[in-house]
Amino acid sequence: AQSVSQHNHHVILSEAASLELGCNYSYGGTVNLFWYVQYPGQHLQLLLKYFSGDPLVKGIKGFEAEFIKSKFSFNLRKPSVQWSDTAEYFCAVNTNAGKSTFGDGTTLTVKP
Amino acid sequence: DVKVTQSSRYLVKRTGEKVFLECVQDMDHENMFWYRQDPGLGLRLIYFSYDVKMKEKGDIPEGYSVSREKKERFSLILESASTNQTSMYLCASSFRTGAYEQYFGPGTRLTVT
């Protein structure tokens, strides 16, 4: 069975600080990897995804993630966070049938 | 834009009641999902449907059942609600293969008293 581990449950940063959220997965087959974000009071929405090709993927609002196959990792990064990035972030891995396993989530608080 | 709608944003039910949560998507997606979201536990899959009348148990199916009679609609049923089913319930949909992301509804916050 696949599993997803997010290393940090709660991260607090000041504006302009750099962000890296860790995500490791356990799955033996071909993976499709996702980061979703849930802003306060809003739906979960896609931030970025990887399914093939360039392991460095770019998403909305300046976020990027790097797939490192040898480390089973898909870490999320942003060079300079803003107060509006305050949200909960979820890493997920899909099977070929489209079923997802989510990590426990990381709550990011950005202080102005 | 894909739209996933859920029948209620907030619901309060009594222990032992039968509860229906409905979800509708408008993008002709094959897959539909029901999750519950609890603080510190992320999203846990309750049931998954990959076609009309087809369903598969997720990680926490106990106490729940589902129905998918039409492609666009996926219902979650709590046969006899209990207080430990108080939670946020999220519906999602996607195309069939794993390369596609899921689209989420706004959620239903269910309180069982």
- The kind and range of the H/E element at A97 are none
Q: Does A49 touch chain B (CB under 8 A)?
A: yes
Per-residue pLDDT tens digits for B45-69: 999 999 998 999 999 999 999 999 9
Cα–Cα distance for residue pair B62/A77, rounded to 1 Å: 37
Q: Tens digits of per-residue pLDDT, A16-75?
A: 999 999 999 998 777 899 999 999 999 999 999 998 899 999 999 999 999 999 999 999
In tens, the pLDDT along A73-83 reads 999 999 999 99
Instruction: Measure in Å the smallest separation between the Cα of B13 and chain A Cα atoms.
Output: 22
Mark yes or no for CB contact B107/A43 under 8 Å.
Answer: yes
Of B98, B27, B103, B53, residue with least CA distance to A99:
B98
How far, CA to CA in Å, does B111 sit from each of A72, A90, B38, B84? 38, 24, 13, 9
Question: Nearest C-alpha of chain B: how many angstroms from A66?
Answer: 17
3-state helix, strand, coil in chain B (%, to 5): 5, 55, 40
Q: How far apart are CA A104 and CA B37, in angstroms?
A: 10
Per the listing, tokens 């990027």 go with: A64
